[in-house]
Amino acid sequence: MRLMKNASLATLAFMIGAALASSGQAADGGHAHIERQTWSFGGFTGQYDQAQLQRGFQIYKDSCAFCHGLKRVRFRNLAEPGGPQFPEDAVKALAQSWPNKVTDGPDDQGKMFEREPKPFDPILGPYKNDNEARASQNGALPPDLSLIAKARNVEYTGTWWAHPFSMLRDIATSYQEGGPDYIYALLTGYEEPPADFTLAEGMQYNKAFPGHQIAMPPPIAKDSFIKYQDGSGSMEQNARDIAAFLAWAGDPSLNTRKATGWLVMLYLLVTTLLLYAGKRVIWSKIPH
């Protein structure tokens, strides 16, 4: 019995020590602290902002499409409800003018050929394969951005004892915007490295990127950002809009899913009340 008690105490001590060690690593710079942003699509009732998604696509087209593709997003998706919802004629014209051609075929001669994209085609990047991309980017591979907002997240950097409370807060607020938060922090996190930081050749310093060294040059900057059609714009606004657009690219059914969820909750509430009323009527006729 004493042996089991000692083993339990040793296990508990090990778990506490591991938690303290992991907390210390986070505080020492293992993961950068990333501030949470306010998004129109956050929480239980949040929805995408159509105007923001349209601006975000402009940022992608004018700044990101030179290196990154959106192979899981098709041109026609840009016209569907719940997204940027561009006019269909504009989407057709966009597909025809897209600089990256689509490989199709085989033709009657058994050969593959290139053609202009059509609305049902995916939004492709400039490279035909990963090797071509690496060769053009000094060995770095530009990732496809279709699911980047789902593939990235923020890391908890607080104390170990507060972590359970942080998780409960995330559940209570339906927090799922870690990807957009990270993208925004990354795009606005380029700066000069500290004096004691050794930056590898060809790398950029970014305070939000793990390890703080990233191969991608800053796509936007305070003095070099994309202006919108109304003449407005800033680095922060560009970063916020492209992050929202990439969140939609990774979860295009969010608006419908949340609206359907509330209808289901209403249905379950009404059904519960009806069942309770029926139970009261039925059992009221039976003597107790």
Please report the domains of the chain, with CATH numbers, ordered by start residue: 32-257 (1.10.760.10)
Give me the pLDDT at residue 2, please.
52
pLDDT in tens, 211-220: 999 999 999 9
Residue 261 has pLDDT above 90, yes or no: yes
Q: Which residues contact 266 (CB under 8 A, 6 or more apart)?
A: none
Q: What is the pLDDT of residues 154-174, one digit of tens each?
A: 988 888 999 999 999 999 999
Q: Is the pLDDT of residue 15 over 50?
A: no
Tell me the pLDDT tens digit for each residue of 64-81.
Answer: 999 999 999 999 999 999
pTM of the model: 0.85
What b/e string do you get for 140-160 counting C-beta neighbours within 10 Å, with b at 16 or more? eebbbbbbbbeebebebeeeb
Non-local (6+) Cβ contacts of 112 within 8 A are 103, 104, 105, 106
With beta carbons less than 8 A apart as the criterion, state whether 239 and 149 touch: no
- Here the tokens at position 106 are 């085989």
Total number of residues shown for the chain: 288
Encode pLDDT of 181-214 as tens digits.
Answer: 999 999 999 999 999 999 999 899 999 999 999 9
Mean per-residue pLDDT, 35-61: 96
Spatial distance between the Cα atoms of 48 and 93, rounded to a whole number of angstroms: 24
